[in-house]
Amino acid sequence: MSSPGLTVAIAQIEPVWLKREATVAKVAEQVRAAALEGAKLVCFAEAIVPGYPFWVEYTDGARFDTAEQKTWYAHYAREAVVIDRGDLDPIKAAALEGGCHVVLGVIERATDRAGHSLYCTMVTIDQFGNIINTHRKLMPTHEERLVWAQGDGFGLRAMPLPPFTLGALNCWENWMPLARAALYGQGVNLHVATWPGSLRNTEDITRFIAFESRSYVLSASSILHRDTIPDDLPLRDRLIESLPAVLANGGSAIAGPDGKWLVPPAVDRETILIADLELEAVYAERRLFDPFGHYSRPDVLELHVHRHRPRGIQFHDDE
């Protein structure tokens, strides 16, 4: 008797860089394409909508109060996702049409924090087209801190995706032991790791997380080439002279709960990676090691997670 399974997909695509509506349309198209292949989970890269802020690293982004950095940030904020405005509705419709979950990295302009700061947010959409989780990246990495605000623990949640339990982290959060543990402790056995797009990020840690957690791990990345940058971006000539030819080379991959590749990293091309997962493989590998089960000592080691969304303001109005 075969164990229950799930077909999953990673859509490694190139965004229409810094263009929200065009990239949303492309993502929705890829969701439909993966669903036609039988996928019940489709994953995309970190910050794919509207794109990763590659300019910061290459244009002296840390210099204080410069006109060009203000110009690019203002454009980024204008093209960012406002969830309650309906910016992701085409992707939600594609998920409903395809009957699949979607894990998607976006740059969110958060109205609950006054609507001007940007967050690297991972959105999870269910098969009914409902957003079931929004996880804001806990700690932006290095130059990301110049354009992204710090997130919170609200989205550190496990979600049912029968027969598995789904969890996801953004980029270098996957190197944070306690962030991983917060998901392991909720029973996650299908882990999505999103990245802006680099083989150097995915080729080691994907297999490590799988082996550590005895879970399936999907690493989703994007690609981006300088010659595809839209012609009408602000200060495009300055960008072209500063950016390398290849900004993101992908590296999307899928590892099994034994830490071995199911789908090895795909580099420098747009593609949809498909794999069939079986729950039985998780049970088999948990026999020897289960990080929050029989191979844990909660009487000695215990993690406390503050899972609330701070807003910075409370009003106490007279009724």
Which residues are catalytic, by number? 46, 137, 171
Helix (H, G, I), strand (E, B) or coil at 4: coil
Q: Identify whether the C-beta of residue 138 lies closer than 8 Å to the C-beta of residue 120.
A: no
Integer CA distances (angstroms), 50 to 22, 97, 167, 276, in order = 9, 23, 23, 30
Measured at the CA of 155, the angle between CA 152 and CA 161, to 5 degrees, comes to: 165
Counting Cα atoms < 13 Å in the Cβ hemisphere of 263 gives 24
Q: Identify whether the C-beta of residue 220 lies closer than 8 Å to the C-beta of residue 103.
A: yes
Q: Identify whether the C-beta of residue 192 lies closer than 8 Å to the C-beta of residue 103.
A: yes
Burial class (CB in 10 A: 0-12, 13-18, 19+), 32: middle
Q: Identify whether the C-beta of residue 283 lies closer than 8 Å to the C-beta of residue 268.
A: no
Q: Residue 207: how many CB atoms within 10 A of its CB?
A: 20
| Cβ-Cβ contacts under 8 Å for 277 (sequence gap 6 or more) | 5, 6, 7, 8, 164, 190, 216, 262
Going by C-alpha positions, the residue among 133, 79, 98 that lies closest to residue 28 is 98
